[in-house]
């Protein structure tokens, strides 16, 4: 199955200039700030240690997805049973990638097509439902998914497919404020969960294949008013808003230092996965996507800050440091994957580190204070584009594995095709990994696949996809594609792995009960021994799991929750892989589990 982005998909796009969003306040805010009532900044910062709440994406702003709970553990998890299930209903199924949030006896979960529910966590009864009114012509790249919301004060805040942000009243589901990020007709959208830091909602943008400009923005969580905006591509001006007025806040980088001509003006690098926050360094970390177009012969140079992690001061919007994973990316190896903060002994020294499993197949350990590379190693079996990462320079040791220049071909229409691994869907895509403070290991959901890739001529045009490439994707093995792997970040040692026939496309949760949870497209939520990888429990949810599980306690019992609903990028762009899993059923439900009551 050959999929060519130019000729068969994403046939419409426009580029919009980054402008200040217009905020509509539908009802006056009932709370002047988030302190002292509802979800506070301190609650978000301490979310990982909280037992009765999950108030942030990632179980805390660091994104470790580690819970200190031990009631459900490797000795008794085999007895876990369903507590209740909730149907998302209707015909709007597709991929359900949301991570639930739990606060004050209520679960908040987003769904496909920019929907949200509030559910009574004791009974599974719906309290309210919000359906965002989506216009015709939205241009989401990779299914109509939403990955979750953020809680602050008495608000629940999430992004929408028409490139907006909506803040709802937690009790009623009524709109308190809403704002526009950008023009959805230009390819902008938002599927990531917002990051909330010190009273600010910090978000990125989607739309890298449309020639948009990746950026990070901060808004007042209570009003939606813009605080600052930081484009990540060099040459673009940042802005701050003071007393309602927009002021310039310095150009990102140096114009034309690593981008030729005007290519930086439509350079992609979408910040589509959202970010993490480290209170120790007071930095937010956002990954950036592929540069545009895919045809790298048109944009010689490193193309900063595409395929990178950028560290930004959340108070000022200034970039403190950046680290680029794939300079002059030719394979669509977005660098958007999360950077998880952790403290460890690396090379005999105690360091404030960050772990990142990139789509290009390498796992990176960075010093999160300055972005210096501490360690790098493969986390997938086959990587063709580079033989390794130079730990002194931080740059890849690139192999001769770039597709041919179409201008050098006989007809000038298609360059020489090459086979590259991983495929552009990545050694790891959006699905978040987890870090255990107990074992010191990262648990990485990875996939083994490759692609045939070729370049084609392309020029930027509003209303057209901006790629200049075609591809087919195929599995590398007959017996498995997905693999959940446990790695020691200090040594790069693979401690254990679980192989799965279909690709893994869901997030990971680890707990102090010596457990690791993740779901499979075949429909199973599974629990593994965190130290050995032994499968200890599984439950069939009826549809593929491509979401992130969470855990909390209530009335003295521990619960595990996960959304179920097959979809996402794999069935849309997976080529031969999509054929292999086409039998999987779509769905839309939330499942909650616990141990039987004594």
Concatenate the DSSP letters of all residues of 203-239 into one string: E--B-GGGT-B-EEEEEETTT--EEEEEE-STTPEEE
Placement of tokens 């130079």 in the chain: 390
Pick from 342, 358, 210: which is nearest to 273 by CA? 358
Output the pTM of the full model: 0.94
Q: Give dist(CA 476, CA 448) in Å, integer.
A: 6
Residue 25 — pLDDT band, cuts 50, 70, 90?
low
Tell me the average pLDDT across 30-38.
46
Give the per-residue pLDDT at 37: 63
Computed from CA positions of residues 87, 90, 93, 98, in that sequence, does the dihedral angle turn out positive or negative?
Answer: negative
Residue 576 — pLDDT band, cuts 50, 70, 90?
confident
* Token couple for 411: 């007809």
Q: Give dist(CA 445, CA 431) in Å, integer.
A: 7
Whether pLDDT at 54 is above 80: yes
Give the per-residue pLDDT at 30: 38
Give the per-residue pLDDT at 144: 84
- CA 474 to the chain's CA centroid: 23
Tell me the average pLDDT across 542-547.
96
Give the per-residue pLDDT at 91: 65
- CA 514 to the chain's CA centroid: 25
pLDDT tens per residue, range 384-410: 999 999 999 999 999 999 999 999 988
* Token couple for 80: 């876990």
Give burial (CB, 10 Å; 0-12/13-18/19+) of 85: middle
Whether pLDDT at 21 is above 80: no
Q: Please, what is the average pLDDT of the chain?
A: 92
pLDDT tens per residue, range 439-449: 999 999 999 99
Determine the 3-state secondary structure of 578 from DSSP.
helix
Beta strand pairing call for 150-152 and 155-160: antiparallel
Give the per-residue pLDDT at 585: 84
Give the per-residue pLDDT at 581: 85
* Token couple for 162: 């028409």
Tell me the average pLDDT across 579-597.
91
pLDDT tens per residue, range 225-267: 999 999 999 999 999 999 889 999 999 999 999 999 999 999 9
Residue 23 — pLDDT band, cuts 50, 70, 90?
low
Whether pLDDT at 330 is above 90: yes
Give the per-residue pLDDT at 210: 86
Give the 3-state secondary structure of 285-309: EEECCCECCCCHHHCCCCCCCCCEE
451: left (phi over 0), alpha (psi -120 to 50) or beta: beta
- Comparing 366-375, 442-451, 566-575, the range with the smallest average pLDDT is 566-575
Q: How far is CA 452 from CA 9, 321, 329, 332, 556, in A?
A: 17, 34, 16, 13, 53
From 47, 154, 169, 332, the catalytic residue: 332
Residue 27 — pLDDT band, cuts 50, 70, 90?
very low
Q: Give dist(CA 491, CA 274) in Å, integer.
A: 28
Whether pLDDT at 13 is above 60: no
Higher pLDDT, 463 or 100: 100
Give the per-residue pLDDT at 589: 95
Give burial (CB, 10 Å; 0-12/13-18/19+) of 131: middle
Give the per-residue pLDDT at 20: 42
Helices (H) and strands (E) in the chain, counts: 4, 41
DSSP string, 165-190: EEEEETTT--EEEEEE-S-GGGT-B-
pLDDT tens per residue, range 142-174: 888 899 999 999 999 999 999 999 999 999 999
Q: How far is CA 27 from CA 31, 174, 579, in A?
A: 12, 9, 48
Tell me the average pLDDT across 353-381.
98
Q: Is 390 a catalytic residue?
A: no
Tell me the average pLDDT across 115-130.
97
Rg (CA), the chain: 22
Q: Give dist(CA 263, CA 574) in Å, integer.
A: 29
Domains and CATH numbers, the chain: 5-594 (2.140.10.10)
Q: How far apart are the first and last CA of the chain?
A: 53
- Identify whether 177 is preceded by a cis peptide bond (ω within 30 of 0): no
* Token couple for 29: 């805010």
Q: Count CA within 13 A, CB hemisphere, residue 230.
A: 25
Q: Give dist(CA 149, CA 166) in Å, integer.
A: 10
């Amino acid at each position: 199955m050959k999929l060519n982005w130019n000729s068969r998909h994403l046939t419409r796009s426009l580029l919009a200039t980054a402008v200040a969003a217009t905020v509509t306040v539908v009802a006056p805010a009932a709370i002047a700030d988030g302190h002292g009532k509802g979800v506070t900044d301190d609650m978000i910062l301490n979310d990982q240690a909280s037992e009765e709440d999950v108030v942030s994406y990632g179980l805390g702003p660091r994104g470790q997805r580690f819970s200190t709970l031990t009631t459900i553990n490797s000795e008794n998890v085999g007895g876990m049973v369903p507590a209740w299930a909730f149907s998302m209903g209707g015909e709007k199924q597709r991929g359900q990638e949301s991570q639930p949030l739990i606060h004050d006896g209520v679960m908040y979960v987003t769904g496909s097509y920019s929907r949200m529910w509030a559910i009574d966590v004791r009974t599974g009864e719906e309290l309210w439902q919000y359906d965002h009114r989506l216009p015709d012509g939205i241009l989401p790249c990779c299914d109509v998914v939403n990955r979750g919301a953020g809680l602050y004060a008495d608000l629940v805040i999430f992004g929408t497919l028409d490139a907006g942000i909506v803040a709802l009243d937690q009790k009623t589901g009524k709109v308190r404020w809403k704002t526009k990020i950008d023009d959805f007709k230009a390819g902008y959208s938002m599927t990531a969960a917002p990051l909330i830091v010190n009273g600010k909602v910090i978000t990125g943008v989607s739309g890298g294949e449309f020639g948009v400009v990746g950026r990070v923005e901060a808004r007042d969580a209570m009003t939606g008013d813009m605080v600052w905006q930081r484009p990540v591509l060099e040459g673009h001006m940042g802005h701050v808003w003071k007393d309602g007025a927009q002021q310039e806040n310095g150009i990102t980088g140096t114009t034309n230092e690593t981008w030729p001509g005007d290519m930086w003006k439509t350079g992609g690098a979408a910040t589509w996965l959202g970010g993490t926050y480290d209170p120790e360094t007071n930095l937010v970390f956002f990954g950036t996507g592929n540069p545009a177009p895919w045809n790298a012969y048109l944009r010689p140079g490193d193309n900063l800050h595409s395929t990178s992690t950028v560290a930004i001061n959340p108070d000022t919007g200034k970039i403190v440091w950046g680290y680029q994973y794939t300079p002059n990316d030719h394979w669509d190896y977005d660098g958007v994957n999360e950077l998880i903060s952790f403290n460890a002994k690396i090379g005999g020294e105690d360091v404030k580190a960050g772990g990142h499993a990139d789509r290009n197949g390498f796992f990176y350990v960075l010093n999160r204070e300055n972005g210096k590379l501490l360690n790098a190693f493969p986390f997938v079996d086959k990587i063709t584009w580079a033989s390794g990462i130079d730990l002194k320079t931080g740059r890849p040791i690139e192999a001769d594995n770039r597709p041919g220049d179409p201008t050098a071909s006989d007809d000038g229409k298609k360059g020489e095709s090459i086979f590259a691994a991983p495929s552009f869907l990545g050694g790891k895509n959006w699905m978040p990994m987890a870090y255990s403070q107990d074992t010191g290991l990262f648990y990485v959901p990875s996939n083994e696949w490759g692609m045939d890739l070729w370049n084609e001529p392309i020029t930027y045009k509003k209303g057209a996809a901006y790629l200049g490439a075609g591809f087919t994707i195929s599995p590398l093995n007959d017996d498995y594609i997905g693999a959940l792997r446990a790695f020691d970040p200090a040594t790069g040692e693979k401690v254990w792995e679980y192989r799965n026939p279909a690709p893994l496309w869901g997030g990971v949760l680890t707990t102090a009960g010596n457990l690791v949870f993740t779901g499979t497209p075949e429909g199973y939520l599974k629990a593994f021994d965190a130290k050995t990888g032994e499968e200890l429990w599984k439950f069939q949810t009826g549809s593929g799991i491509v979401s992130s599980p969470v855990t909390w306690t209530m009335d003295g019992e521990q619960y595990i929750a996960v959304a179920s609903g097959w979809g996402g990028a794999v069935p849309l762009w997976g080529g031969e892989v999509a054929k292999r899993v086409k039998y999987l059923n779509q769905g839309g439900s939330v499942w909650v589990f616990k141990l039987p009551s004594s």
